[in-house]
Amino acid sequence: MSAVQTPRRDGGSRAGRPTATGAPRGASAPAVRRPRVAWWRTGLGLVLTAVMLFPVYWILNVSLTQTQDLRRTPPSLLPLAPTFEGYEAVLDQQLQALGVSLLVGLGTVVLTVVVAAPAGWALAKMRPRGAGALSFALLVAQMIPAVVMAMGFYSVYVRLGLLNEVWGLVIADSTIAVPFAVLLFTAFMSGLPDELLDAARVDGASTWRIFVAVVLPLSRNSVITVSLFAFLWAWSDFVFASTLNRQGDLVPITLSLFAYIGNNTTQWNAVMATAVVASVPAAVLLVLAQRYVAAGVTAGAVKD
């Protein structure tokens, strides 16, 4: 017997009623094919990652190797008898240098944000004369080699008495971060809606009040990005430190680590342990600020 279709008020029938996807109710939905990633691409990515991370592993391996095993041939790929004498040397000899690097890094962050944030806002919203030429000059400033700038700072610091001073090192490191920071702040703040700033002016807010209470909170991602890059540049700086602070009483960790290295160096585990300890703050900051950095770097890349 043939099935009898039940008539409906709208003239249709239950059988063969189209679903939201356009297929009949009784028909099975087509399988969705997911793109397959070739196995060799995954393998190649793992190999390249292992090659790039091998120096990091080797630093950690040597930092845990005993002194009498450092010159073994062939070298051991694993610290079979790990020792912490290198890290004991770091705690005994390098804490002051780590503190100096932390002070220089934080000072560079503060000086960079204080100078670059108002400058970026002025270029983005106030549009002064010569803004384009100034932006181009900031871009060119980033192309100047650090060693050239270090020699210029040396001749100036000799006259000003800032040679071998920590604060002179902070100013020098800030010159690397400020041009990048101004361009980043300008790109981000250009995307802030003018209506929001006009509403603050209508409410009676002054220019400085608008910048502090409205612009800076909205620019949090850019502030974190600039702060992170400024700190990392100051933390890892060696050119300015070796040129401007070589004879200072307080030297950063990069210069203190360089003092370990010589023709008769036998404390390679202490050298590598210092490198491991000096890398921890940078790694922690990158992990904590990763999502803010991604948002801050891409700010201003897309126009509405």
The tens digit of pLDDT for each residue in 201-233 reads 898 888 889 898 889 988 888 898 899 999 999
Of 66, 192, 36, 53, the C-alpha closest to 124 is: 192
**Burial of 255 by CB count in 10 Å (0-12 exposed, 13-18 middle, 19+ buried)?**
buried
Separation CA 135–CA 132 (nearest Å): 5
For the segment 278-282, the average pLDDT, to the nearest whole number, is: 87
The CA-CA-CA angle for residues 209, 178, 101, to 5°, reads 110
Are 153 and 240 in contact by the 8 Å Cβ rule? The answer is yes
Are 210 and 180 in contact by the 8 Å Cβ rule? The answer is no
Q: How many CA atoms lie within 13 A of 164 on its CB side?
A: 5
Break the chain into its structural domains and give their ranges: 94-297
Of 180, 162, 163, 175, the C-alpha closest to 228 is: 180
Separation CA 10–CA 210 (nearest Å): 62
pLDDT 10s digits, 2-36: 444 545 544 454 544 555 455 555 555 555 565 56
pLDDT 10s digits, 226-273: 999 999 999 999 999 999 988 878 889 988 888 777 655 667 888 888
Handedness of CA 257, 102, 226, 174 (dihedral sign): negative
Predicted structure pTM score: 0.77
Answer whether CATH 1.10.3720.10 is correct for domain 94-297.
yes
pLDDT 10s digits, 78-121: 877 888 888 888 888 888 999 999 999 999 999 999 999 999 99
- The pLDDT, as a whole number, for residue 297 is 54
**Burial of 207 by CB count in 10 Å (0-12 exposed, 13-18 middle, 19+ buried)?**
middle
Q: What are phi and psi of 13, to 5 degrees?
A: -130, 160
